[in-house]
Structure 1
Amino acid sequence: MNTPNKLTIARVIMIPFFVAFLMYDIAGDAGKWIALVIFIAASITDTLDGYIARKYHLVTNFGKFMDPLADKLLVCSALICFTATGKLAAWITIIIIAREFIISGFRLVAADNGIVIAASYWGKFKTVSQMIMIILMIMDIQNGAFQTLITVFIVIAVALTLISLADYIMKNKQVLSMQD
């Protein structure tokens, strides 16, 4: 197993620890900060594994499948935790998760027909905005300016989620018309 795939697996392994420190009083007041460090470390592995895989020609089918899945698991885990604790409206979590299911479905149908749907810049912007939003929500500093910043990033993340969805559909609408 190569280094990028090990980083992807490490990201998946970090998720239950992230959720535990975020949701449960394991470490008292330090719990959210430990969750923050774990989330940031996991987010960095996302950037690092792709960079290493492309630079050193270590792209594998396992990595093509697991890397985006690991990203979705990390982000969706955080969103579900925030929804469960009342920090994030359920409709926001549903929009973001629904987009991931739709794009994954598109990719599966396309792959079945020999078409590769590459990641777009909109998708990358969406991921970065969601990760920043999650980092800010974990920090949850209680002052008006910081809470406004969180709200701004929630709006940005939802907007980029919808824009990237529309972009994927428009660029790949031929996938919708494919027959068995």
Structure 2
Amino acid sequence: MTLLPKLRFTILDPNHLSVLRGIIGACLPFLILSPGPAIHLAAFVLFVIGAVTDYWDGWIARQYKLESAFGKWVDPFMDKILILAPLAAFANLGFFSLWWLVPIFAREIVVTFCRTAWLLEGKSFGAEKLGKLKFVFQTGSACLAFAIFVLWDYASTASLSRWLAPALKPVLAITLVLTLFSGFSFLWNQREHFSSQHFCKVVLAAGVGLLPKAPGTWGSLVGVLFVLLTAWNTWLYLGVLGFVAVAGELAFRRLEDKTDPDPQFVVVDEAAGIMVTFALIPVTWITIPLGFLLFRLFDVKKPFPIKSLERIPGYWGIMADDIGAGFYAWIILFLFFA
């Protein structure tokens, strides 16, 4: 029992291990995309260490009764970073098409968003069996890709790499099916929570609008994240933009308190508006900050006729002025960068 207090403030704290796993995952793409067999091998070793911590932090949490609401959120979130980040890097190297990862990323983002909203509401969820099986196959897919990648670096093992390569896509296909099926299963089992007022507010807040300061800025940054994730394909970009707008509409319909025509916490419109700003615009280190600043400027100043768009009743009135601000910013970016 004397060990318990010490565990809370050391690397053996399960939440610390989870965060460490996420940091490892975030670093892996840089190592994978860097030249050199030693760096690639180091990336694989770090991945294995990260995967081991997933078992370790769970064991510590159960053994020393350190389970917490934060731990229930951070553990699966960091798992996703550890797995998806290297898979994205391997897709970038041409191991498989990025389209293999789109539904996997979409599933993980939606489930993580819903899980976070419900945890903030006080609901608790354990990992489902399908979710655990999904994670095993995701880890296996990443391990197989790593094995092919690392073995190819050495002449003595290159033939083994070529022998393993055909197995990657079938394993990835099984992983994709399990990922989608487990996601649908989770959302279906929790379907009663979609109608809660808290969840509707979190959707309209794009996960950040309930923060005490600068909700519009945070909502715009969420939009920038969507831009960075989807700018590589126009149809995907437009699909996500449409999804954001429609999800907000569905949540607004269920919102019971509509006395305020444009609640401050509603920032899903900012996320959609800034996606309009970057439509068909090259994403660079110049256009991203410039587009962000232009959008925020037009959103705050509301030049003609943006201000009048706010008079449209209901949700689409909330959305319209931000779409207008995004369009004004888009015109400037298009003239100089398209």
With normalisation by structure 1, the TM-score equals: 0.88
CA contact (8 A) 2:29 2:85 kept: yes
Greater Cα offset, 158-167 or 106-115: 106-115
1:174 aligns with 2:196: no
1:108 aligns with 2:139: no
1:162 aligns with 2:187: no
5+ residue gaps in structure 1? none
Given the alignment, which residue of 18, 30, 45 partners 2:53? 45
Given the alignment, which residue of 162, 165, 172 partners 1:143? 162
Distance in 1, matches of 2:179 and 2:193, equals 20
3-state DSSP class of the match of 2:169? Answer: helix
Identical aligned pairs, as a percentage?
29
Q: CA deviation at 1:42?
A: 0.4
Counterpart in the other structure of 2:30: 20
Structure with more contact order per residue of length (Cα contacts < 8 Å, sep ≥ 6): 1
Q: CA deviation at 1:95?
A: 0.9
5+ residue gaps in structure 2? 1-8, 149-159, 199-338
3-state DSSP class of the match of 1:81? Answer: helix
1:33 aligns with 2:41: yes
CA contact (8 A) 1:126 1:160 kept: yes
| Alignment RMSD | 1.9
Which of the pair has more CA radius of gyration? 2
Counterpart in the other structure of 1:68: 76
3-state DSSP class of the match of 1:132? Answer: helix
Distance in 2, matches of 1:49 and 1:176, equals 30
CA contact (8 A) 2:32 2:40 kept: yes
CA contact (8 A) 2:15 2:71 kept: yes
Aligned positions, number: 177
The one-letter code matched in structure 2 to 1:142 is: S
Distance in 1, matches of 2:121 and 2:66, equals 25
Q: CA deviation at 1:112?
A: 4.2
3-state DSSP class of the match of 1:88? Answer: coil
Per-residue deviation, residues 105-149 of structure 1 (Å, max 9, x unmatched): 2213323443222210111111110011001001115334x1232
With normalisation by structure 2, the TM-score equals: 0.49
